[in-house]
Structure 1
Amino acid sequence: MTRPATAPRADPLVLPAVPDLAPAEGAGGLVANALPMLGSMGSIALVASSAGSGGDPTRSYLAAGMFLLATLGFVVVQIDRQRSRRAAGISEARAGYQAELDDARHRVRAAAGTQREEALRRCPAPSALPTALTGGWPARGEHRARIGTHAEPLHLPLVAPPPRHSTDPALADAGARLVQAHRLVPDLPFALDLTGVRSLQVAGPPAAVRDLMRALVCSAAAECTPQQLAVGLLGTVETVPAWGWLTWLPHAHSATSADDAGPVRLVAATDDDRGLAPLADLLADEGPPALLVVDGAATSGLTAHLPDRVAVLEASAASRPLTGPDQVRITLDGTLGRVERLRTEPVEFAPDTCPTTVAEAVARRLLARYDDDAPASTGPTVDVLAQLNLASPAALDPAAAWRHREGADRLRVPLGVDDSGAAVHLDLKESAQGGMGPHGLVVGATGSGKSELLRTLVLGLAATHSPEQLSLVLVDFKGGATFAGLGDLPHCSAVITNLADELDLVERMDDALTGELVRRQELLRAAGHLSSVTEYEQRRLGGADLEPLPALLLVVDEFAELLTVRPAMVETFNAIGRLGRSLGLHLLLASQRLEEGRLRGLESHLSYRIGLRTFGAADSRAVLGVPDAHELPAVPGLGYLRADPTTLVRFTSAYVSGPVRTPEGTSAPPPGRTTLTPFTLTREGSHIVTRGVENPRPKGRSGAAPSLLETAVARMRGHGRPAHRIWLPPLQRSPALADLLAPVSTPDRGLHTPTSPDDALVVPIGVVDRPREQRRDTLTVDLRGANGHLAVVGGPRSGVSTALRTVLTGLALTHTPQRLRCYVLDLGGDLGGLAHLPHVSGVATRSEPDVARRVVAEVTALLERRERGADPRSDRVVVVVDGWGVLRTELTDLEEPLTDLAARGLRCGVHVLIGARRWADLRPQTRDLVGSTVELRLGDPLTSECDRRSAEKVPADAPGRGITHEGHHLLIARPSAPDGSDLAEAVAASWPGEPAPPLRLLPARVSLAEVRAQTPRSRGLLLGVDEQHLAPVELDPDRDGHLLVLGDSGAGKTNLLRTLAHEVARTRPDSARLVVIDPRRTLLGDLPQTQVLHHLSTAQRASAALTDLAGYLEARLPGPEVTPVELKRRSWWRGAEVYVLVDDHDLVAAGAHAPSPLAPLVPLLAHGRDVGLHVVVARRSAGAARALHDPLLQTVRDLGSPTLLLSGDPQEGPLAGAVRAERMPPGRARLVTRDGSGVVQLAWTDQPSEDEAPQVSATFADGQSARSSVSS
């Protein structure tokens, strides 16, 4: 409600500690004095006792009495001496303390005198105002008014020391009386704060009320210029003459209306014919704050119809109740006054008196100060905006305003005006060139006008300097409102805002500023090792071919919070402080607060300081060295400029965010017409009706009229050479691949990017962010030479699949399908769109393991042909594996072949592109083969192989973001055209030729006849077609004597036996016979009967037949009579070879106690080639791990015989070496031999129809006929 004339200037004065009162001797002293007396009593007793032994006792008694008197005298003297000493000590302590209190009293009185002098200087009494206005009285723009005097707390407060138990009460009381006596300073000016006040009523005797109202109006007018405060009067015909002196007051003159006598006076009477017309300035929505004095007129409802900027000062005979916090009531009662406001304590004061003669003298002094026709007594009032070329911003001509400035004019602009109206300039040049810079500091509390000051400085520099002389970097740690609208200036190298919400941008800004220091140093070095930018510009202006190197002003708002978030940023500011003079960098730091130690070494670099109103005296001292900035009123734009330790200039800054002014200096009214309706007030009140404004003026960004700043920026936009951009926005939107490759379309090649053959494998796939170097580089993948394999690693949703699509699409643009062939293992599910490319031969998904194996097999076969020199094509082959981790867990058999492809493929033009979620998914041997890598965002940054610290800063919600090995951030391009369309589809639609050879897949069913047609002269037993070469697979009985077949029911075991039987009949019609053990009789009638010796379906018959067969074959074992030649030719016996085909072995050998029917053949298995025995055993894969311990099966495995694994449960474990069964379609099997394993599609043999089925001979069960048949 009220504001003291001055603010506290010193810390509290703590009185010295009160001395302790010396303690009395007490009982201890009495005892100490009684001890000699007790000793004397002993002597007296001794003398008295010696008198009784004989002789004259008189002398003894006399001596004893003398002893007693001497003792008593000694005790009395000792006690008196101690008391005197204590009293002297207390007196001395009290005298010393009183002297200290006298010193404190002198200091307090001096402080009170200084406080009174300063208060009266700032708020003189009405009678002293005319004299004060004659001198250099400053118009501070403070909306306050002195209304009297009262007691205020001393600004050097006294603090009594805390009491103690042993404190001297007299001295403590003296100190307390001193504190109480000087706690308040009486009769100090009492100023009423008018900020936020809408209604001010003064009640009391009419003469005293008018006296106080005159004092209030005079004091308020003395504090403000007519542009800062308007004063009007609303009275009656009877009361207006009492305010005749008001017509001299320039604040009561209209700024928009005039008559023959000059400006219209803002004085109206309710019972006059003119009504409220003279108060048009006060009724308008726009204008300065105003004070409307109401004397005698009815005011019911008046406040509600007035603009918010108008406060009503009303004379009232009786007090009315207060209804809102914007109302103030002053009650006068004789020589005392009382100020009341809701929610605040009442304040009593002694009201001022201001006779009419004094008021008229004040008005005339103010008229002489501000009247255009009168001589100015305080110096000229400078139009700062005119000096900034902003008086008429709509007519601003950059070509004329941006003349080359040299000497004192360079980097020198007015900020505002001082108390005398003279311009206050800020010169950013260094002191050696006559300036105040190059670096400075601005501190101002919320609402102090700090942001407006920064805008004024930036806009003023931009309006007076060309982009070739000045560039700007504007940084706002919070929000961005400070520099809103300034980013369109051609001077702006960067506008960096909202750093508080995106802290990663702080480090980016640090890199950009450090890079600018390096860039400027390199330019000076390249220009001839020049020492400074000044020398550089002189050489450039002298005709040297050098690019402009303008001065760079870095403005950082809220730098204190910036340093809190990133303390290391102070090192960059220090570097700018050290190198700024020579490199042309100017640093201006701004903050709301400035704590001790916050600058951390920057103090020595900050030459000029600007202090606006601060939160506390400590902030003011930190920036200015004095607490004056804390004492500033709550008026935006008021501040102090300290350009050197001895100069402190108070100023009011210019305002550039308001509406554009007219040449007369007032805000331009809206085009159109405002009509004033005659208005009279009655006791019942009236309504003020305003009509709408026609033809509203153009709107600015906020919807209101364009501001001066917006108009000026619009005039400068697009003029001059744009400043060098030191700040690139962070990586956000991925570029289109078409923008990086710039493809063209031709009739013969379709959509492609012309490149040389050597550069075709260098593909741009994104951009690399280099904020320190102030540029963006193209991220390329170079698949030439040892870098031919690529690994893209990133966590989930990091863009790994998109990166692979981009790489493959880029290769498709630089190669034709005749020069590039691609195979894709899409185990992540995001590469399906690549199937449109004519370069893609095949795509295998996660649900198509057979196709994936076929891809690997085909590329492996192609590699082998090229190694042998048998492949006539020389095209590049690219194998893409997206989801290497899935490959290792679900397609384990493909990891080793693909690693082998990577190891052998580069010399034959085979490249492998890998996509993985983690680096750990790649085994070391695979990782060593990869020459090119791209690391995107990882699930765990600690696993980064590039830079762990940089990996932690990759945003989690930005697919395509990653880092390079140097720690720079990267962004993968989208595989699309600039319009967003898919680039792969565009390439496919424009390609006029044949696509790459498609992937040949292993057929789901192949007949035995088709297999035989491919190798009509084969002598082996054809099994089917292999996956790797899509060629027939045959079994050589001479090398692979036996065969083990494992698979689930329906997997194709019986068909395989049928096929082998027919193959035996085809290749050895006369030299082979079949023994078939078929418990389920599924082969009955399906075999060539001329070859069948036995078709056995029971264990008993099989046991008998095989025992007989074993005995016969044992006879073929070579004896000692066989010659080496016969052994070599195997000619010592004659007859047919025997093929034992066992179906459903699990049923044949199911007996737990009975021996297996096949047991007789076990000893002969190892000699099968010598005796002509071949065993083919088929059984279920379920339980095979346990059944393989059967003697027959164990022997077959020990002999290294081939194993066919049809579809089965992988949970059974390894069944053939380390190979597990897997789920496969019927007829599909994995053939495991000594040389490795491969997938085979078994040939299908049709069952003969019933008409064609041969008749089974009963002699097949006759052992004799069997023996003779084998012999033949």
Structure 2
Amino acid sequence: MASFASLLDPSLEALDEPLTLPPEPTPPKRPSIPLLATAVPVLGAVGLWLLTGSVLSLWFALLGPLVAAATLLDGLRTARRERRRAEQETDAAHVRVEASVRARHDRERDRRRTRHPDVAGYLTRETETWRAVPGRSEVLVVGRGDAPSGLHVTGGGSDARSVAVRRTALVLTDAPVVVPAAGGIAVVGPPVLAAAVCRGLVLQACLASPPAELRIIGPLGVADRWVEGLPHRGAATGRTLAVVGEGATVPADVESYIVRVPLGGPVPPGCDTVLTVHAPDRASVDTGGEVHEVAIEGLSAAQALHAAAAITALAADLPGAGAATAGPIPLGPLLVDAPSKALAARIGREGGSPSVIDLVADGPHAVVAGMTGSGKSELLVTWVLALCATRSPREVSFLLADFKGGTAFDALAALPHVAGVITDLDGAGARRAIESLRAEVRWREAELARVGARDVTDPRVELPRLVVIVDEFAALLGDHPELHAVFTDIAARGRALGMHLILGTQRVSGVVREALLANCPLRVSLRVADAADSRAVVGTDEAARLPGGESARGVALVRGAGDAAPRRVQVALSSPADLARIAEASDPHRPRRPWLPDLPERLHLADLARPSAGGDIVLGLADEPDQQRQVPAVLSREDRGMLVVGAAGTGKTTALRTIAAQVTQPISVPSDPEGAWDAVHELWDDPPPRGSVLLIDDLDALAARLPPDYALELTERLERIVRGAGDHGHLVVASAQRLSGAASRIAELLPRRALLAAPSRAEYVALGGEPRHHVPDQPRGRARIDGRAVQFAVPPPIQAVAERELPPWFPSTAITGFAARRSSASRAMLGLWEEAGAQVMTVAQVAAVGLDEAAQRDELVVVVGDAEDWQRHWHVLTAVRDDHSLVIDPSVGSDFRALSADRALPPYCAPGRSRAWLCRDGLPPERIALPRPPETQRGLTPGG
């Protein structure tokens, strides 16, 4: 059970900032006796007496007590003056806070009375009757009394005045006391007083909810006959309110009831609220286990009859009241013999006749307003079907948009008239919308200029009229305010170009600007929540007073430019059968599409047309909304190069594979360090023929996989190769994840750039993109090339080429030097050479017996030593290096130049792969693969 305090509207409780009381005045400090000032004259007098011997000098000693007394009296006077001033300031602050409490209580009381009026409040403010206020119809005002206030007062002390102010601030006097309408209200008291209170409660419920939302039932007593005059008594729909007289039984399964109970009589079981009347102006209300005294409102029988007559008259004059009771109107019968002139459409009925609106005669543009559940989307669907039923796609086409992700328009895509259905635009989609709509305006202007016509009514013009329908227009402008200028431009120029806008929105006031609204003379309003919106659309408050409920759904007010007052229309409801019948009977000709769908998220290379000549390479499909087309994006051989840049997993490698699939013999720089080193040096020594395509994947990672000296030489040579690509007729395509260091210098040499997705907007801009083009979750392979969105094509699958492995190298000359760090791995590898027939000797042993004698042996000799051993016996090193073969293990790579007498870097050897350098016959060093013993294959390598 809800407590009494919880029935208050929380939106009314936050009343400005809290008020703060001043603290209690601090008592002034008592003045102290100036002992030093008292003692100084006494001591001075005694000193004079001792010096002069004159007794008269002792009179100066009296100055000490006199100064002390004067100082003490002055301190007491000052303290009394400060205490009076503090008391005056505290009193003034109390007065200000008390005045603020009264003023804020007045505002809070007015807000509560406005939100929850009693019968007198409804009758004095007619605009409040049947106004859609959240929560109003769920409670009833049983009187006025004390209620918890949302005002908070802090500070102050424990004095009675501060306590009284804080206590007063917590209680709002003479406030509306509300109780739940559901669950039952029992009015206990003398028959005359109880009947007067019940009349007030029943009328209050009828003034809060229109007949379509509330129906009154129950066994009426003699005192309740006046209820028969209320329109709610005969309503067929809405929640039920039972009015039960004394002694009657409450009907079962009612949502709420008001029952009169005599003094001492039993209250119906389960009744939530008991209102006991003690006097004509006083009662107590028991709800939620809490009892409060209230001042009640009662009406005489004559007053009740007068109020009921006013409500009945209001219901009779209410727009849509007659239509609301007629039930849904099917669209199908209305389309028989429907007019086919201009853009006239039968959307429903006005009384007994079909209601026709014409976008050409009444427009050229329209605004449709209506709150959620009023039937706005159904009206727009009916409007589209009514036009499609009488016109071919050669006469009218539609672009439909719902920017709250609705599905009302999805089924209409089956109509050949519908050129596109748009939902949930993001930032990129909004820009496409702007560019596409502006392109449509330019295209239509060009078509008119081509035949020399002023507008589409010229018989020489063969342009279908384009109707752009936007549901939830306010949501669109809230997310993309820049679109307002585009729609305003279309509204201003659309009539001559044959472009028409139908803008649906829940709110108009403060959302749709006057420049746009002025060009939309056709206005349609279903039920709206605010009278200001009703006035902005149809010029009256009537749309805000339309009945709610399911039975009144689709009741609309229509007002054209020439109408003196809005017309009441019951909108027809379409069915799937209507849609299927119209789609089947329509001309299958599809209109030109002003709006193309977004690029596909996956695109196969085989689905794209290849360039007929010139050797151009297809990259994918480019989106050109400003030209209203999507065309293949190509890379010309004359472009010299392109950089594909983006985060990991965005499709960089796939893009390079797409290019490679269209080239006869592409030259690729492998991703492994050894392959990359070899490929770059091969390109350096032997440039490829003119017309070749060089592909470099993960440009920024190549150098990172190499030691600093190798990385420096690789990037320098690669930079020179790319720089000279244009002169040699090469096309270079590289990919990278980040642009820094040498990669950024090489990237600057590539004139074109394909920018894929980046993790953040800042990184996207750092890669060279524009902030407005950043899309965090764009599909894999989606890029920006030359300002256009491009979806890279996916090449057909190809069989992966296995990496070429070097065969194990074994000694084949009489003497082979082997420089390596002493390790178990190197010893194991030497064991394999021994098994192959070689004899292993140390450098010291060879130096002792002589190299010539060792060379005369029948077996192949392997001379082994670390870098220090070889350099210690330099004559052996020189002889082996000049006349035999020298194998240098990477474990002594830091001494390579000293051992090989070669200043150039040797081919890169990746660690852990049993690589070494072979120097022989004065040739440049070459990379070889050392044999791997079984344990080495499990992790031990020479030099490890």
- Range into which the TM-score falls when normalised by the shorter chain: 0.5 to 0.7
Tell me whether 1:579 sits opposite 2:493 in the alignment: yes
The alpha carbon displacement at 1:942 in A equals 2.8
Pair 1:863–1:224, CA change in 2 (3 A): closer
Return the match for 1:968 from 772, 788, 792.
788
Tell me whether 1:513 sits opposite 2:437 in the alignment: yes
Code of the residue aligned with 1:914 in structure 2: it is A
Pair 1:1243–1:477, CA change in 2 (3 A): closer
Code of the residue aligned with 2:444 in structure 1: it is R
Alignment of 1:519-598 (within 5 A): 519-526=443-450, 528-535=451-458, 538-539=459-460, 546=462, 549-559=464-474, 562-592=476-506
Code of the residue aligned with 1:948 in structure 2: it is E
- 2:755 alignment partner, SS class: strand
Tell me whether 1:887 sits opposite 2:814 in the alignment: no
Code of the residue aligned with 1:429 in structure 2: it is L
Partners of 2:367 and 2:523 within 8 A in 1 = yes
Tell me whether 1:1005 sits opposite 2:809 in the alignment: yes
Pair 1:855–1:476, CA change in 2 (3 A): same
How many residues were matched structurally? Answer: 737
Pair 1:711–1:1146, CA change in 2 (3 A): same
Give deviations 1:295-332, integer Å, cap 9, x for gaps: 466646x55x34xxx543434334877999x9666666
Alignment of 1:830-849 (within 5 A): 846=672, 849=674
Partners of 2:347 and 2:356 within 8 A in 1 = yes
The alpha carbon displacement at 1:799 in A equals 1.5
- 1:579 alignment partner, SS class: helix
Partners of 1:231 and 1:290 within 8 A in 2 = yes
Tell me whether 1:410 sits opposite 2:336 in the alignment: no
Code of the residue aligned with 2:735 in structure 1: it is G
Pair 1:717–1:210, CA change in 2 (3 A): farther
Tell me whether 1:808 sits opposite 2:793 in the alignment: no
The alpha carbon displacement at 1:353 in A equals 0.5
Residue equivalent to 1:480: 406
Tell me whether 1:948 sits opposite 2:770 in the alignment: yes
Residue equivalent to 2:298: 350
| C-alpha distance in structure 1 between counterparts of 2:571 and 2:182, whole Å | 25
Return the match for 1:984 from 775, 778, 798.
798
Pair 1:293–1:652, CA change in 2 (3 A): farther
Give deviations 1:974-1026, integer Å, cap 9, x for gaps: 335xxxxxx325xx9xxxxxxx9x998765427658xxxxxxxxxxxx999xx
Tell me whether 1:1176 sits opposite 2:878 in the alignment: yes
Runs of 5+ in structure 2 lacking a partner? 5-118, 146-175, 834-842, 932-944
Give deviations 1:570-615, integer Å, cap 9, x for gaps: 2212212211222233334455556659727435434355667766
| C-alpha distance in structure 2 between counterparts of 1:649 and 1:208, whole Å | 45
| C-alpha distance in structure 2 between counterparts of 1:380 and 1:322, whole Å | 36
Residue equivalent to 1:429: 359
Tell me whether 1:1207 sits opposite 2:890 in the alignment: yes
| C-alpha distance in structure 1 between counterparts of 2:479 and 2:303, whole Å | 60
Pair 1:913–1:334, CA change in 2 (3 A): closer
| C-alpha distance in structure 2 between counterparts of 1:509 and 1:943, whole Å | 27
Partners of 2:345 and 2:386 within 8 A in 1 = no
Residue equivalent to 2:519: 605
| C-alpha distance in structure 2 between counterparts of 1:320 and 1:482, whole Å | 53
Partners of 1:337 and 1:351 within 8 A in 2 = no
The alpha carbon displacement at 1:633 in A equals 7.6
| C-alpha distance in structure 1 between counterparts of 2:491 and 2:687, whole Å | 64
| C-alpha distance in structure 1 between counterparts of 2:285 and 2:404, whole Å | 40
Residue equivalent to 2:261: 316
Alignment of 1:902-917 (within 5 A): 912-917=732-737
Partners of 2:455 and 2:497 within 8 A in 1 = yes
Residue equivalent to 1:1219: 905
The alpha carbon displacement at 1:291 in A equals 4.0
- 2:375 alignment partner, SS class: helix
Alignment of 1:1179-1258 (within 5 A): 1207=890, 1216-1217=902-903, 1219=905, 1223=909, 1225=914, 1228-1229=917-918, 1239=926
The alpha carbon displacement at 1:800 in A equals 0.8
Length-normalised TM-score, structure 1? 0.46
- 2:621 alignment partner, SS class: strand
Identical positions, percent: 20
Alignment of 1:1101-1180 (within 5 A): 1146-1147=868-869, 1150=872, 1176=878
Tell me whether 1:438 sits opposite 2:365 in the alignment: yes
Runs of 5+ in structure 1 lacking a partner? 2-114, 125-137, 153-190, 256-286, 371-375, 541-545, 657-707, 742-752, 812-819, 828-845, 868-875, 977-982, 989-995, 1010-1021, 1025-1044, 1059-1074, 1096-1140, 1159-1174, 1180-1192, 1194-1201, 1245-1272
Alignment of 1:356-371 (within 5 A): none
Partners of 2:401 and 2:470 within 8 A in 1 = yes
| C-alpha distance in structure 2 between counterparts of 1:564 and 1:882, whole Å | 43
The alpha carbon displacement at 1:347 in A equals 5.6
Pair 1:117–1:347, CA change in 2 (3 A): closer
Partners of 2:212 and 2:235 within 8 A in 1 = no
- Which has a greater percent of helix? 2
Give deviations 1:649-694, integer Å, cap 9, x for gaps: 48576485xxxxxxxxxxxxxxxxxxxxxxxxxxxxxxxxxxxxxx
Partners of 2:420 and 2:593 within 8 A in 1 = yes
Residue equivalent to 2:97: none
The alpha carbon displacement at 1:880 in A equals 3.5
| C-alpha distance in structure 2 between counterparts of 1:954 and 1:1204, whole Å | 55
Code of the residue aligned with 2:301 in structure 1: it is T
Partners of 1:494 and 1:727 within 8 A in 2 = yes
- 1:605 alignment partner, SS class: coil
The alpha carbon displacement at 1:963 in A equals 0.2
Pair 1:206–1:118, CA change in 2 (3 A): closer
Alignment of 1:69-80 (within 5 A): none
The alpha carbon displacement at 1:151 in A equals 11
- 2:496 alignment partner, SS class: helix
Residue equivalent to 2:30: none
RMSD across aligned C-alpha pairs, in angstroms?
6.4
| C-alpha distance in structure 1 between counterparts of 2:177 and 2:233, whole Å | 21
Residue equivalent to 2:634: 780
Residue equivalent to 2:603: 735
Partners of 1:766 and 1:972 within 8 A in 2 = yes
Alignment of 1:227-246 (within 5 A): 230-234=215-219
- 2:878 alignment partner, SS class: strand
| C-alpha distance in structure 2 between counterparts of 1:511 and 1:361, whole Å | 58
The alpha carbon displacement at 1:953 in A equals 1.1
Pair 1:215–1:916, CA change in 2 (3 A): closer
Pair 1:984–1:709, CA change in 2 (3 A): same
Length-normalised TM-score, structure 2? 0.60
Rg larger for: 1
Give deviations 1:34-70, integer Å, cap 9, x for gaps: xxxxxxxxxxxxxxxxxxxxxxxxxxxxxxxxxxxxx
| C-alpha distance in structure 2 between counterparts of 1:533 and 1:207, whole Å | 74
Partners of 1:1047 and 1:1206 within 8 A in 2 = yes
| C-alpha distance in structure 2 between counterparts of 1:333 and 1:639, whole Å | 48
Pair 1:437–1:338, CA change in 2 (3 A): farther
Return the match for 1:1079 from 823, 834, 847.
847
| C-alpha distance in structure 2 between counterparts of 1:210 and 1:216, whole Å | 10
Code of the residue aligned with 1:351 in structure 2: it is L
Partners of 1:402 and 1:465 within 8 A in 2 = no
| C-alpha distance in structure 1 between counterparts of 2:320 and 2:375, whole Å | 26
Partners of 2:889 and 2:917 within 8 A in 1 = yes
Alignment of 1:636-715 (within 5 A): 647=564, 649=566, 654=571, 656=573, 713=579
Pair 1:639–1:205, CA change in 2 (3 A): farther
- 2:467 alignment partner, SS class: strand
